[in-house]
Amino acid sequence: MTVLARLEHIVKDFGAVRALDDVTLDINHGEVLGLMGDNGAGKSTLVKTIAGNFQPTSGSYSLDGQPVHFSGPAEARRHGIEVVYQDLAICDNLTAAANVFLGREMMKRVGPFKVLDHKGMNRRANEIFKELKSETRPAALVNRMSGGQRQAVAIARTRLSESKIVLMDEPTAAISVRQVAEVLALIRRMKDQGLSVILISHRMPDVFEVCDRVVVMRRGRKVADKPIAQSSPEEVTGLITGAIQSA
Amino acid sequence: MTNHQDRAPGMDVDLLQGSTSPWRGLLLAQESWVALSILVLGLIVSFIAPTFASAGNLLNVFQNACFIGIMALGMTPVIISGGIDISVGSILGMCAVTLGIVLNADMPLAVGIIATLAMGIACGVFNGAIISYLQLPPFIVTLATLSIGRSLALVLTNNEVFYEFGQATASIIALGGGYTFGFPNVVYALIIGVIILHILLTMTRWGRYLYAIGGNESAARLAGIPVDFIKISAYAFSGLMVAITAIFLVGWLGAVTNSIGTGYELQVIASTVIGGASLNGGFGSALGAAIGAILVEVIRNALLIAGVNPFWQGTFVGCFILAAVLLERIRSLRR
Ligand SMILES: Nc1ncnc2c1ncn2[C@@H]1O[C@H](COP(=O)(O)OP(=O)(O)O)[C@@H](O)[C@H]1O
Ligand SMILES: [Mg+2]
């Protein structure tokens, strides 16, 4: 496996709060990385630093060996880093296709004007949903969709461009068991397509089901980083609570 | 308030979804229900008071509805984006006073029109900029503008009424009070306005972003949409539509008083909401706003003709607003 992104000695302070404390982490091509830890451990901060929402206080960050300094999420997106936000960042009053293309609408020419290409966007969104093997109808409104379908809409957004890393912050937090399975299947499909995925989750079974590697954070520090096959739910639980110092 | 569940505005163009019939959409669209209410109400009133159905009265109703309707078209993008503009009556006052002063100074009509449109847009940009950049609630900001605008109209006119429009006298009265092919000119303005706004809302990025901002503003920001700019443009559009209304209204009335437009905001917002716009943002349509304005005017006129004390008008309009909001609630529960 080759390294796609490398974080070295990353520190992130919010005033007096040290949210990330000397975190060093490699993200490999085509791997699903599980990120676990208690509330406030720094998981979201780490992911937001990778996504360009936050600039680290100190430390270095490189992609494919090139140092990067993202001024914001838009710049990170141009480098192939996509985020599926925790609250899903979806507009309920729009269709699935409109959400997928939000901010990146396909346009077509009508005489001297450029207008929204509804058909084109529906068609492309439908292709992406098929790729993801999700039964999401592009022209249906999102407010009538299940949690799994909404997740598919959020993930489909990341498939519009040539993304390399997809960051998912607790995608399974607020959905039913059947829908969790759907989301996990979506994650596997992204991995099959060669993407790297970072999955933040509180759900131990999810992490052990789809992840190749698990990283545990505690109070801003990385306390474990190992292949999932060499760990166990008991060990991870101990690492999260602090019963086990590090592994 | 519309068709939320079954038909997104302008997105019912999908071919992949061939199973749903267009009749279902029509049946669920608020515009259809409002149109039906207008018909039923009209029929009942014509039985009680046959004068209602006279050509002269119907034309009068339609003309009055157009003034409110054009302003309701302006209100629609604002409400879709999750905002509200209660300053439209005062902006109408400012625009009319501007037109009165410019024409009273014996300027050509074109100059008066440009100055009026500029005033309307400026008032809208003022509202939008404060709402976007200072992050203040739209209700409060436009309430302040309502007060400021009316006060400035008084200051500028010094309580004078303008009815001398110099060289433009004949042309402004012909524009606002005149007829083309048997209909008042303002009717064409409303129809053109509905078509343009419908295209803007359903076929452009601007329209799409308004719905997105009204649906989930932070998601719109994360998607890289220029939220502040779009919001300001929505208020500017509202100001522009108010200015257009002012030009026709002044021509029709033949005079500018500084109280012109007072209290219009209620009728305008009522029209927009009755026509299917949601005060929570995210929903609304051009046709709905226009049809809503017609219903509001039909109610007003029907009560007048039926000899009901005009003091009751507000009660009836208010009940229709409540009914429209309840209808939305019932539909979203059925989901
Ligand atoms: N934008 C912020 N401003 C100030 N403090 C923050 C901010 N974001 C996170 N924090 C703090 O950083 C720490 C880590 O938070 P977070 O990364 O959200 O943890 P997790 O996602 O693991 O629950 C917490 O103490 C939190 O209060
Ligand atoms: Mg978090």
In a domain, A218, yes or no: yes
Task: Please say if the pLDDT value at position B9 is more than 80.
Answer: no
In a domain, A13, yes or no: yes
Q: How far apart are CA A121 and CA A139, in angstroms?
A: 10
**pLDDT tens for each residue of A109-138:** 999 999 999 999 999 999 999 988 888 999
pLDDT band per the 50, 70, 90 thresholds, residue B6? very low
In a domain, A201, yes or no: yes
The pLDDT, as a whole number, for residue A212 is 96
pLDDT band per the 50, 70, 90 thresholds, residue B18? very low
For range B288-306, the mean pLDDT: 91
CATH number, domain with residue A74? 3.40.50.300
Distance A35 CA to ligand 2 centre (A): 11
Q: Which of residues 69-98 of A touch B (CB under 8 A)?
A: 73-74, 85, 87-95, 97-98
User: Is B23-42+53-334 a domain of CATH 1.10.3470?
Assistant: yes
In a domain, A52, yes or no: yes
Residue spans per domain, chain B: 23-42+53-334
**pLDDT tens for each residue of A187-219:** 998 898 889 999 999 889 999 999 999 999 999
In a domain, A71, yes or no: yes
Mutate to test the interface with A, among B3, B16, B80, B213 (most CBs of A within 10 A): B16
Q: How many CB atoms lie within 10 A of CB B157?
A: 21
Lowest mean pLDDT among A72-76, A199-203, B247-251: A72-76
For residue B331, CA distances in Å to A147, B5, B32, B123 come to 21, 8, 15, 36
**pLDDT tens for each residue of B122-133:** 999 999 999 999
Q: Which value does ipTM take for this structure?
A: 0.83
Q: How many domains does chain A have?
A: 1
Whole-model pTM: value is 0.84
Ligand 1 cavity residues, CB under 6 Å: A 14, 17, 19, 37, 39-45
- DSSP 8-class letter at A21: E
pLDDT averaged over chain A?
Answer: 91
In a domain, A85, yes or no: yes
The pLDDT, as a whole number, for residue B304 is 86
Domain with A58 in it: 3-90+163-241
Q: From start to end of chain A, where are the E strands?
A: 3-14, 17-28, 32-37, 58-63, 66-67, 81-84, 107-110, 113-116, 165-169, 196-200, 213-218, 221-227
The pLDDT, as a whole number, for residue B316 is 84
Q: Which residue's CA lies nearest to atom 25 of ligand 1?
A: A40
